[in-house]
A and B are shown apart, each in its own frame.
Chain A
Amino acid sequence: LNKYRDLQKHFDQGILRFAVNQEYVVENIDLNEDDEIAVFPPVSGG
């Protein structure tokens, strides 16, 4: 969040979802160097 200041306001809303290597994560986990990390807003597929 220090690096991407604009994320803070979205983070505060508690709506962001997180994925590591294309799997949702809801708790802190240890990351490896090559992990693919995604942060995104509420989904709306289907």
Chain B
Amino acid sequence: MIKIQKENFNVEREISSIKKIHSNVGAVTSFTGYVRDNNNNINVESINLEVYEKMAYKQFEKIIEQAKNKWSLIDTLIIHRYGNLKVNDKIVLVASFSSHRKDSFEACNFIMDYLKKDAPFWKNEFYDKKNEWLSNTN
């Protein structure tokens, strides 16, 4: 499942809503990304995340297909937020569901690596008195 949204999400609820469909799932690996208060030693107050939504959906679908070809996955979840986000807000959730842990660990890592490198999102960080667009940070 892919969701690109402004709204916050509840990690436990999102994961269990998928888990309960599949009784053959024995392993779930999830990654949650947050807005942190410091980047390159500058205090961050908030960020504004912009997205090229049409491309993001298409690319997320593609990366999930790639992950499913590489590992034995039962389901996957990507939630990526956009808009104004404050320190401590959640930005992203990736979860991979499989029978055994190795597939879910590796697939989750693979999807997150892709997100950092190629997902069409842009972070504009707001500091005390100025703001700055970030480039790829990996």
Contact = CB atoms under 8 A, between A and B. Distances in A.
A33 B92 CA distance: 36
B95 to A, nearest CB: 14
B55 A38 contact: yes
Interface residues of A, number: 14
B17 interface: no
B121 A45 contact: yes
Q: How large is the interface on B (under 10, 10 to 19, 20 to 34, 35 or more residues)?
A: 20 to 34
Contacts of B68: none
Interface string B111-125: 010011111111100
A46 B115 contact: yes
A19 B120 CA distance: 10
B91 to A, nearest CB: 7
Interface string B89-128: 0011000000000000000000010011111111100000
A44 B135 contact: yes
B33 A40 contact: no
Contacts of A15: 135
Given A19-B55, A24-B118, A46 B112 contact: yes
B52 A38 contact: yes
A22 to B, nearest CB: 4
Contact of A46 (B55, B58, B91, B135): B91
B69 interface: no
Given A22-B58, A38-B52, A38-B55, A43 B120 contact: yes
Between A23, A36, A44, A45, the greatest number of chain B beta carbons within 10 A of the residue's beta carbon is seen for A45
Given A42-B136, A43-B120, 13 more contacts: A23-B58, A41-B133, A43-B122, A44-B121, A44-B133, A44-B134, A45-B56, A45-B115, A45-B121, A45-B122, A46-B91, A46-B112, A46-B115
